[in-house]
Amino acid sequence: MSTYQNSADEILSVGSTDRVNSLYDAFSAGELDAFAALCATDVEWIQSEGFPYGGRHVGARAVLEGVRNTLDHYWEGFGFERREVRDLGDALLVIGVYTGTHRATGSPVRAEAAHVLEFEGGLLRRFRQFTDTKLFHDAATSFSHAGEADSSGEQVLASGGIDDLKGIAAALEHYLLGARTGESSIMRLAFHDQATTHGTLGGELISGPIQVLFDWHDQNGPAERLDAKVRSVEVSGLTAHAVVELRDWTGVDFIDRFSFSKERGRWSIVHKSFEVIGTS
């Protein structure tokens, strides 16, 4: 879950302080009613240009679904620690630090940021974000370097050119987001049209065209608590292999082994084999 915590002595009136705390707390918790009560009906939420899953979002529901929920799907332990809040007269300036670990690559991010909050009639009218978007892009497209530890202290082994590793990370990102949301249409983006899968689950063989996986996933539902760790990535020319450890895919733990192929500059999964290693 995203956390937007405060550790600063805020240079504001008590009313402004309470307003900021309530707003960030409701956003962090994903509480639509509480968040909407603090926002104008057509609140405008503007992420920095180039920020992952950013852009302009209008309305409290669109903000929570398009920003908060999406960040939670892609980033583990994502949060914003407020360091300082200042009254600008017609707006509030919130300064702090983003932290988190990208679920697909295992790479951490730490980025300073500033938020400008504009209010009208006591309600948030416009939110604008300013941060170094390259730090997020690098974490989302670069696996931890070979032999270095990820955020859990375990090593992630990666070999290959940076562009190739970014392409593989993008495919895995679609796979994991599809798993967590229960949307096989998103998961499908990771796979080659002629991809296959093979493995045994609960004594039942699941093997054949990748549509077999999508059909199972549609019936099984979203893996909302899924935790994924990329254990290794190895690139050799136009092919690659990756091993991913998955914990709590609706109560089951897996090791996934992927084979990738690069066609017309795009990496996609051509085969997924899986092994059950326990339960959560």
What span, in angstroms and rounded, lies between the C-alpha atoms of 121 and 37? 12
SS3 154: coil
- pLDDT, the chain, mean: 86
Q: What is the pLDDT of residue 1?
A: 46
| Span 253-262, average pLDDT | 97
Q: Mind listing the pLDDT tens digit for each residue in 137-174?
A: 888 876 654 344 444 545 455 556 778 888 898 899 89
Q: Mind listing the pLDDT tens digit for each residue in 63-87?
A: 998 898 888 878 888 999 999 999 8
Single out the residue of 56, 193, 237, 207 nearest to residue 129, CA to CA: 56
- State the pLDDT confidence band at 230, using cuts at 50, 70 and 90: confident
Q: In CATH, which of 3.40.50.300, 3.10.450.50, 3.30.360.10, 3.40.50.10860 is domain 14-139?
A: 3.10.450.50
Single out the residue of 140, 174, 134 nearest to residue 266, CA to CA: 174
Q: Mind listing the pLDDT tens digit for each residue in 162-221?
A: 788 888 988 998 999 899 889 999 999 999 999 999 999 988 899 999 999 999 999 999
Query: Is the CATH code 3.10.450.50 the one for domain 145-279?
Result: yes
For 237-252, b/e burial (b = at least 16 CB within 10 A) is: eeebebebebbbbeeb
pTM attached to this predicted model: 0.64
Q: Where in the chain is the domain with CATH 3.10.450.50?
A: 14-139, 145-279
What span, in angstroms and rounded, lies between the C-alpha atoms of 144 and 108? 9
Single out the residue of 276, 270, 275 nearest to residue 258, CA to CA: 270
